[in-house]
């Protein structure tokens, strides 16, 4: 939580091309469900960081508008995409068939960390007569059979590394047509690690009309090109300076 102090004064640049993003000042004014607000407070998250202040309202305001978020390591990018994801899902398992959301990240370790953050936030959120969210982790170094089963169990949130997910997707002819929300986390590292062609193949399997959020600490040209090709036109760009 290195940057939390900065969150108090940062993020004032709420004017965007389309006007002012409503309610980006506090978690309370973002239109998040009360159960999620309570969960945030319980975990000690009282004030959004600048990237959260800018990205969360944008992702929630127009659920088809894509976003590219650039902010340095430690700036709170996980919540910036996890809060809109949990809000979309309503904190409960969806009984309609298919994977609803996918988070792609460069390592097993990071995937586990994302899973922990997401589950902790969702834990206190109980919806009457509904099953809790189903999470699936698909990463290298774990049993293939087990992961096939996870994918087949209609997960609401899939957290995956691209190599393993593509392998399983090809082997099982995985249907990703119900996916509504896709995150590329640590996108610069995904590229540095040589996942570009796998990412392109995965993109081709994802349906149009979804919302895609790409988060990164840096925006090299390769990534900008990837975003141009893989995201819907005119994504919202939230770019915080390296020292923001």
- Vertex 85, ends 197 and 39: CA angle to 5°? 135
Neighbours of 204 (CB within 10 A): 9
Tokens 């509904």 correspond to what residue? 130
Nearer to Mg ion by Cβ, of 77 and 100: the residue is 77
Which one of the spans 60-68, 70-78, 157-165, 235-243 is the region binding ligand ADP (CB under 6 A)?
A: 70-78
The reply to whether 75 sits near ligand ADP by the rule CB under 6 A is yes
Query: Residue 216: which of ligand ADP, Mg ion, none does it interact with, CB under 5 to 8 A by kind?
Result: none
CA distance 134 to 94: 9
What letter does residue 29 receive in the DSSP assignment?
A: G
Question: Applying CB under 6 A, which of residues 77, 88, 164, 210 lies at the interface with ligand ADP?
Answer: 77
CA distance 212 to 65: 8
- Please report how close the Cβ of residue 144 comes to Mg ion at its closest, in angstroms: 27
Query: Residue 75: which of Mg ion, ligand ADP, none does it interact with, CB under 5 to 8 A by kind?
Result: ligand ADP
Residue 73 tokens read as 């390591």
The reply to whether 45 sits near ligand ADP by the rule CB under 6 A is yes
Question: Applying CB under 5 A, which of residues 53, 77, 100, 210 lies at the interface with Mg ion?
Answer: 77
Strand residues in 97-134 grouped as ranges (E): 101-104
The reply to whether 1 sits near ligand ADP by the rule CB under 6 A is yes
- Give the binding site for Mg ion (CB under 5 A): 77
């Amino acid at each position: 939580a290195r940057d939390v102090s900065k969150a108090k004064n940062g993020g004032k640049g709420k004017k965007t091309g389309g006007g002012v993003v409503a309610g980006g000042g506090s978690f309370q004014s973002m239109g998040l469900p009360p159960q999620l607000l309570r969960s945030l407070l319980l975990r000690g998250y009282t004030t959004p960081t600048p990237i959260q202040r800018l990205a969360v309202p944008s992702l929630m305001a127009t659920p088809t508008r894509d976003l590219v978020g650039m902010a340095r390591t430690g700036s709170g990018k996980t919540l910036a995409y996890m809060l809109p994801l949990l809000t979309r899902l309503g904190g409960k398992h969806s009984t309609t068939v298919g994977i609803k959301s996918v988070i792609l990240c460069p390592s097993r370790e990071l995937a586990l960390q994302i899973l922990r953050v997401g589950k902790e936030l969702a834990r206190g959120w109980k919806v009457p007569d509904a099953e809790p969210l189903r999470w699936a982790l698909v990463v290298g170094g774990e049993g293939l059979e087990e992961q096939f089963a996870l994918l087949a169990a209609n997960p609401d949130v899939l957290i995956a590394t691209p190599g393993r997910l593509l392998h399983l997707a090809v082997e099982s002819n995985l249907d990703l047509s119900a996916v509504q929300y896709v995150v590329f986390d640590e996108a610069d590292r995904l590229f540095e690690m040589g996942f570009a062609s796998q990412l392109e193949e995965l993109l081709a399997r994802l349906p149009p009309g979804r919302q895609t959020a790409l988060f990164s600490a840096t925006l090299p040209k390769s990534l900008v090109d990837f975003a141009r090709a893989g995201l819907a036109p005119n994504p919202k760009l939230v770019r915080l300076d390296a020292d923001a």
